[in-house]
Amino acid sequence: MIRERYVNAALLAGLLAVPLYALLVDEPFTITLATRAVILALAAVGLNIALGWGGLVSFGHAAFFGIGGYSMGILAFHAQNFMPLDLGFMVFDGTKSMPVIWLVAIITSALAAFLIGLLSLRTSGVYFIMITLAFAQMFYYFAISWSRYGGEDGISIYIRNDFPGLNTLVPIQFFGICFAALVLALWLNARLVASPFGLALNAARQVPVRVQTVGLDPTRLKLVAFVISGAITGLAGALFADLNRFVSPSMFSWHLSGELIVLIILGGVGRLMGPVLGAVLFVALEHFLGGLTTHWHIALGAILLGVVLFARGGVIGLLCGPKGQS
């Protein structure tokens, strides 16, 4: 078995090397593909905090992805059209600044995660899955009927938003921004897991009743994890919207929630780099198999079946063995 830290380092190095090589051979599409993988990985890293560490099988994380996307879409829409956004208590011109958009995306998705978590965490198991799905679907149908922001057609943003000191229209520079956000999220994830909070969350996932006897409130621990998870997925949504320069209700769809879960299972649930490896594999399969047939999801399903049946720790587990052994 290979030590997990070596696999993690190799994976990050590979993820960085591919767009750099694409830059050398002048293949901007490959850079965009790598950026898509990085953003999906970021969203899945967020979900992994809830699912992998907290044991919360959220089937509604598309809600936070969409909220992040719409935060970007709405702010950029008002800025590009010189149409002030009237919030009732203040009028705001909108913004094309990525840091401001990210801040709004993180705050709004964290707030939504707090409210959804507060209600959803009263349930567990299949009811938790269904209630999170129901919340995401509520956002989906709301976005479809939100004619002010394009309804079903969504919002197109003409020019990618700005980041101080960088030209975000250059693919490799936008990739760098997304990659930095992913590395930061992974670092935060690693620190969180090793912190007393992370250990308590891990214990709460294993034996929720027993942690109470040492003074820990499992619901509160899971709520905090759910909020952090939602905020990271929200940030990924804002970046995804910037990548495509387009926001639509599909960002809230249950397909996306399902895809994020698939990425984690493929890479390894509760493994630091599991979501990253899952996202890379997913995008690679989508690109290579998708070029051969439109039914590439059948192959993905077969691979997922194989992973679930024969590699319970995902591909990371297959390479490095069960959690905690390398």
Partner 1 sequence: MSLLHVENLTASYGASQALFGVNFTLAEGEVLALMGRNGMGKTTTVKAICRMIPSAGRLDFAGHDLHRLPSFRAARLGLGLVPEGRRCFAGLTVAENLIAAARPGHWSIARVTEFFPRLGERLGQRAASLSGGEQQMLAIGRALMTNPRLLILDEATEGLAPLIRAEIWATIAALKRDSAMSILVIDKTLSELAQVADSAAIIARGQTVWSGAMDDLSADVTEQYVGV
- Please give the residue ranges that form the binding site for partner 1 (CB under 8 A): 196, 199-200, 202-203, 206-207, 209-218, 323-324
Query: What gap in Å lies between CA 128 and CA 146, rounded to an integer?
Result: 27
* Residue 259: alpha-carbon gap to chain centroid: 10
Q: Choose among 235, 185, 262: nearest CA to 65.
A: 235
* Residue 95 host element (H or E): none
Query: What gap in Å lies between CA 8 and CA 225, rounded to an integer?
Result: 23
Least Å distance between CB 189 and partner 1? 17
* Residue 67: alpha-carbon gap to chain centroid: 12
Residue 22 · residue 264 · CB < 8 Å: no
| Residue among 194 and 305 whose Cβ is closer to partner 1 | 194
| Residue among 203 and 318 whose Cβ is closer to partner 1 | 203
Least Å distance between CB 213 and partner 1? 4
| Residue among 85 and 190 whose Cβ is closer to partner 1 | 190
**Largest pairwise CA distance in the chain:** 60
Counting Cα atoms < 13 Å in the Cβ hemisphere of 123 gives 13
Residue 162: strand, helix, or coil: strand
| Residue among 22 and 201 whose Cβ is closer to partner 1 | 201
| Residue among 36 and 205 whose Cβ is closer to partner 1 | 205
Least Å distance between CB 271 and partner 1? 14
Residue 289 · residue 296 · CB < 8 Å: yes
Query: What gap in Å lies between CA 161 and CA 145, rounded to an integer?
Result: 26
Least Å distance between CB 206 and partner 1? 5
Least Å distance between CB 219 and partner 1? 9
User: Torsion angle, CA of 292/294/298/304, rounded to 10 degrees?
Assistant: 80
- Helix spans in 170-273 (H): 171-194, 196-206, 208-212, 218-244, 254-267
Write out the two tokens for 212: 């109470």
Q: Is the dihedral of CA 7, 9, 10, 11 positive or negative?
A: positive
Least Å distance between CB 255 and partner 1? 32
Least Å distance between CB 197 and partner 1? 9
Q: Choose among 80, 1, 99, 14: nearest CA to 273.
A: 14
| Residue among 32 and 326 whose Cβ is closer to partner 1 | 326
| Residue among 124 and 202 whose Cβ is closer to partner 1 | 202
Least Å distance between CB 204 and partner 1? 9
Least Å distance between CB 198 and partner 1? 9
| Residue among 218 and 249 whose Cβ is closer to partner 1 | 218
| Residue among 171 and 270 whose Cβ is closer to partner 1 | 270
